[in-house]
A and B are shown apart, each in its own frame.
Chain A
Amino acid sequence: MLWEVDIFAAPGLPDVVGTETVADAADLGFSPNLTLGFARGYLLQGDLSREQVETLASRLLADPVVERASIGVVGDAVLAESLAGKTGKIVYVLPKPGVTDVVADAARQTAADFGIEPEAVRTFKKYWIDGVDAAEIERLARKLLANDAIEQVAFDELGFDSLQVGSPYKFELKTVAIRSMNDAELETLSKQGQLYLSLVEMQTIQKHFQDLDRDPTDVELETIAQTWSEHCSHKTLAGRISYSGPEGEIFFENMLKETIFGATVKIRENLGSDDFCVSVFADNAGVVKFDDEYNDCFKVETHNHPSALEPYGGANTGIGGVIRDPMGTGLGAKPICNTDIFCFAPPQFDPNELPNGVLHPRRVIKGVVAGVRDYGNRMGIPTVNGSIFFDKRYLGNPLVYCGDVGLIPVDKSFKEPKVGDLIVAMGGRTGRDGIHGATFSSAELTSESETLSGGAVQIGNAIEEKKILDVMLEARDRGLYNAVTDCGAGGFSSAIGEMGEKIGAEVDLNAISLKYEGLSYAEMWISEAQERMVFSVPKDKWPELKALAESEDVEAIVLGEFKPTGRLVLKYDGVTVADLAMSFMHDGRPPVIRKAVYEVPTVEPITVKPEGVELPGQTAVSKTVACPCCGKESGKTSATLDLEAILGSLNVASKHWAIRQYDHEVQGGSVLKPLVGVACDGPGDAAVLRPRLTSRRGLVVSNGMNPNYGDYDAYWMAASAIDEATRNAVAVGADPTTISILDNFCWGNADKPEVLGSLVRAALACRDVSVAFGSPFISGKDSLNNEFRPEGEEPIAIPPSLLISAMGQMDDVAKAVSMDLKEAGNALYLVGETKRELGGSHLSLVRNWVGGQVPTLDVDVAKRTYIAVHKAIQSGLIRAAHDLSEGGLAVAAAESAFAGNLGAEISLAAIKLAPAADGESTALPGVENVDDYWKLFSESNSRFLIEVPVEKSCAFEGILCEAKVPFAPIGKVVEKPELTIFGADGTVAVQGDLADLKLRWQKPFDLGGWYAD
Chain B
Amino acid sequence: MKPNVLILRAPGTNCDYETAYAFELAGATTERIHVNRLLEDPSIIDRFQIMCFPGGFSYGDDVAAGRVLASKIRLRLFDAVSRFKDADKLVLGICNGFQILIKSGILVADDEIGAPATLTWNDSGVYVDRWAHLEVKSDKCVFLRGVDKMYLPIAHAEGKFMGRDAAVLDALEAQGRLALRYAPGNNPNGAVRDVAGVCDETGRVFGLMPHPERHLDKTQRPDWTRYQNEPDFATKVGDGFAIFKNAVEYFA
Residues of B within 8 A of A377 (CB): 57, 127, 155
Determine if B57 and A666 form an interchain contact, defined as CB atoms under 8 angstroms apart. no
Residues of A within 8 A of B76 (CB): 113
Determine if A817 and B63 form an interchain contact, defined as CB atoms under 8 angstroms apart. no
A59 to B67, CA, bound (A): 9
A28 to B231, CA, bound (A): 55
- A553's nearest neighbour on chain B, judged by CB, is B11
- B21's nearest neighbour on chain A, judged by CB, is A693
- Known contacts A65-B162, A660-B130, A693-B18; decide if A106 and B59 are in contact (CB<8 Å): yes
Determine if B64 and A816 form an interchain contact, defined as CB atoms under 8 angstroms apart. no
A553 to B35, CA, bound (A): 11
Nearest-Cβ distance from residue B220 to partner chain A, whole angstroms? 6
Interface segment among B138-146, B209-217, B244-252: the answer is B209-217
- Known contacts A103-B62, A668-B213; decide if A818 and B129 are in contact (CB<8 Å): no
Q: Please tell me which one of the listed residues A666, A678, A816 contacts residue B226 in the complex, with CB atoms under 8 A apart.
A: A678
| Residues of A773-788 contacting chain B, CB below 8 A | none
B219 beta carbon closer than 8 Å to chain A: yes
B71 beta carbon closer than 8 Å to chain A: yes
Interface segment among B78-86, B110-118, B170-178: the answer is B110-118
Residues of B within 8 A of A20 (CB): 125
Interface segment among A245-253, A461-469, A475-483: the answer is A461-469
Write out, one digit per residue, whether chain B residues 9-29 have a CB within 8 A of any chain A CB (1) or not (0).
Answer: 101111101100110000000
Interface segment among A619-627, A669-677, A790-798, A908-916: the answer is A669-677
- A657's nearest neighbour on chain B, judged by CB, is B126
Q: Please tell me which one of the listed residues B120, B220, B223, B228 contacts residue A66 in the complex, with CB atoms under 8 A apart.
A: B120
Q: Please tell me which one of the listed residues A63, A667, A675, A1008 contacts residue B118 in the complex, with CB atoms under 8 A apart.
A: A63
B42 beta carbon closer than 8 Å to chain A: no
A61 to B127, CA, bound (A): 21
A103 to B65, CA, bound (A): 11
Nearest-Cβ distance from residue A533 to partner chain B, whole angstroms? 16
Nearest-Cβ distance from residue B132 to partner chain A, whole angstroms? 11
Determine if B62 and A668 form an interchain contact, defined as CB atoms under 8 angstroms apart. no
Determine if B125 and A16 form an interchain contact, defined as CB atoms under 8 angstroms apart. yes
Residues of A within 8 A of B75 (CB): 113-114
B164 beta carbon closer than 8 Å to chain A: yes
A159 beta carbon closer than 8 Å to chain B: no
- Known contacts A106-B59, A552-B34, A667-B17; decide if A816 and B71 are in contact (CB<8 Å): no
- Known contacts A675-B222, A818-B225; decide if A466 and B12 are in contact (CB<8 Å): yes
Residues of A within 8 A of B223 (CB): 676-678, 680
B89 beta carbon closer than 8 Å to chain A: no
| Residues of A285-304 contacting chain B, CB below 8 A | none
Determine if B57 and A673 form an interchain contact, defined as CB atoms under 8 angstroms apart. no
Nearest-Cβ distance from residue B24 to partner chain A, whole angstroms? 10
A378 to B124, CA, bound (A): 19
A664 to B115, CA, bound (A): 33
B241 beta carbon closer than 8 Å to chain A: no
- A66's nearest neighbour on chain B, judged by CB, is B120
Residues of B within 8 A of A671 (CB): 219-220
Nearest-Cβ distance from residue A881 to partner chain B, whole angstroms? 11
Write out, one digit per residue, whether chain B residues 188-204 have a CB within 8 A of any chain A CB (1) or not (0).
Answer: 00000000000000000
A340 beta carbon closer than 8 Å to chain B: no
Write out, one digit per residue, whether chain A residues 496-521 have a CB within 8 A of any chain B CB (1) or not (0).
Answer: 00000000000000000000000000
- B125's nearest neighbour on chain A, judged by CB, is A16
Q: How large is the interface on B (under 10, 10 to 19, 20 to 34, 35 or more residues)?
A: 35 or more
Nearest-Cβ distance from residue B137 to partner chain A, whole angstroms? 22
Determine if B220 and A668 form an interchain contact, defined as CB atoms under 8 angstroms apart. yes
Q: Please tell me which one of the listed residues B9, B126, B220 contacts residue A670 in the complex, with CB atoms under 8 A apart.
A: B220
Determine if A662 and B68 form an interchain contact, defined as CB atoms under 8 angstroms apart. no
Q: Please tell me which one of the listed residues A66, A109, A378 contacts residue B12 in the complex, with CB atoms under 8 A apart.
A: A378
| Residues of A136-158 contacting chain B, CB below 8 A | none
Determine if A462 and B218 form an interchain contact, defined as CB atoms under 8 angstroms apart. no
Write out, one digit per residue, whether chain B residues 28-60 have a CB within 8 A of any chain A CB (1) or not (0).
Answer: 000000101100000000000000000111011
A60 to B62, CA, bound (A): 11
- A467's nearest neighbour on chain B, judged by CB, is B11
A102 beta carbon closer than 8 Å to chain B: yes
A761 beta carbon closer than 8 Å to chain B: no
Determine if B129 and A660 form an interchain contact, defined as CB atoms under 8 angstroms apart. yes
A842 beta carbon closer than 8 Å to chain B: no
Determine if A663 and B118 form an interchain contact, defined as CB atoms under 8 angstroms apart. no
A17 beta carbon closer than 8 Å to chain B: yes
A833 to B143, CA, bound (A): 55
Determine if A65 and B164 form an interchain contact, defined as CB atoms under 8 angstroms apart. yes
Q: How large is the interface on A (under 10, 10 to 19, 20 to 34, 35 or more residues)?
A: 35 or more
Nearest-Cβ distance from residue A125 to partner chain B, whole angstroms? 14
Residues of A within 8 A of B130 (CB): 660, 680
Residues of A within 8 A of B37 (CB): 551
Determine if B63 and A103 form an interchain contact, defined as CB atoms under 8 angstroms apart. yes
Residues of B within 8 A of A467 (CB): 11-12
Nearest-Cβ distance from residue A27 to partner chain B, whole angstroms? 16
| Residues of B81-103 contacting chain A, CB below 8 A | none
Nearest-Cβ distance from residue B73 to partner chain A, whole angstroms? 10
- Known contacts A65-B164, A677-B223, A1008-B124; decide if A552 and B18 are in contact (CB<8 Å): no
Determine if A64 and B60 form an interchain contact, defined as CB atoms under 8 angstroms apart. no
Residues of B within 8 A of A678 (CB): 223, 226
Residues of B within 8 A of A680 (CB): 130-131, 222-223
Between B22, B125, B129, the greatest number of chain A beta carbons within 10 A of the residue's beta carbon is seen for B129
A134 beta carbon closer than 8 Å to chain B: no
| Residues of A519-565 contacting chain B, CB below 8 A | 551-553
B128 beta carbon closer than 8 Å to chain A: yes
Residues of B within 8 A of A110 (CB): 59, 63, 67-68, 71-72
Residues of A within 8 A of B72 (CB): 110, 113
A103 to B11, CA, bound (A): 14
Q: Please tell me which one of the listed residues B62, B129, B217 contacts residue A664 in the complex, with CB atoms under 8 A apart.
A: B129
Determine if A816 and B225 form an interchain contact, defined as CB atoms under 8 angstroms apart. yes
A759 beta carbon closer than 8 Å to chain B: no
Nearest-Cβ distance from residue B117 to partner chain A, whole angstroms? 7
A282 beta carbon closer than 8 Å to chain B: no
Determine if A65 and B62 form an interchain contact, defined as CB atoms under 8 angstroms apart. no
Write out, one digit per residue, whether chain A residues 639-677 have a CB within 8 A of any chain B CB (1) or not (0).
Answer: 000000000000000000000111111111011110111
B121 beta carbon closer than 8 Å to chain A: yes
A836 beta carbon closer than 8 Å to chain B: no
B153 beta carbon closer than 8 Å to chain A: yes
A814 beta carbon closer than 8 Å to chain B: yes
Residues of B within 8 A of A59 (CB): 71
Determine if A105 and B222 form an interchain contact, defined as CB atoms under 8 angstroms apart. no
Nearest-Cβ distance from residue B170 to partner chain A, whole angstroms? 16
- B130's nearest neighbour on chain A, judged by CB, is A660
Determine if A106 and B36 form an interchain contact, defined as CB atoms under 8 angstroms apart. no
A668 to B126, CA, bound (A): 22
| Residues of A699-742 contacting chain B, CB below 8 A | none
A591 beta carbon closer than 8 Å to chain B: no
Determine if B220 and A551 form an interchain contact, defined as CB atoms under 8 angstroms apart. no
A102 to B59, CA, bound (A): 10
Between A65, A466, A664, the greatest number of chain B beta carbons within 10 A of the residue's beta carbon is seen for A65
A702 to B58, CA, bound (A): 31
A666 to B56, CA, bound (A): 9
Residues of B within 8 A of A665 (CB): 129, 153, 155, 211, 214, 220
Between A16, A380, A678, A817, the greatest number of chain B beta carbons within 10 A of the residue's beta carbon is seen for A380
A106 to B63, CA, bound (A): 7
- Known contacts A63-B118, A380-B14, A676-B225; decide if A462 and B60 are in contact (CB<8 Å): yes
A65 to B214, CA, bound (A): 30
Mind listing 12 A-B residue pairs with CB under 8 Å? Answer: A66-B118, A109-B68, A110-B67, A380-B15, A660-B130, A661-B126, A665-B220, A666-B15, A667-B14, A671-B219, A673-B222, A677-B223
Q: 4 closest A-B pairs (Cβ-Cβ)?
A: A380-B14, A668-B18, A106-B62, A463-B60
Q: Contacts A16-B123, A668-B15, A690-B217 given; 11 further ones with Cβ under 8 A?
A: A63-B120, A113-B76, A373-B127, A461-B60, A462-B57, A463-B59, A661-B128, A665-B129, A665-B214, A666-B214, A814-B218
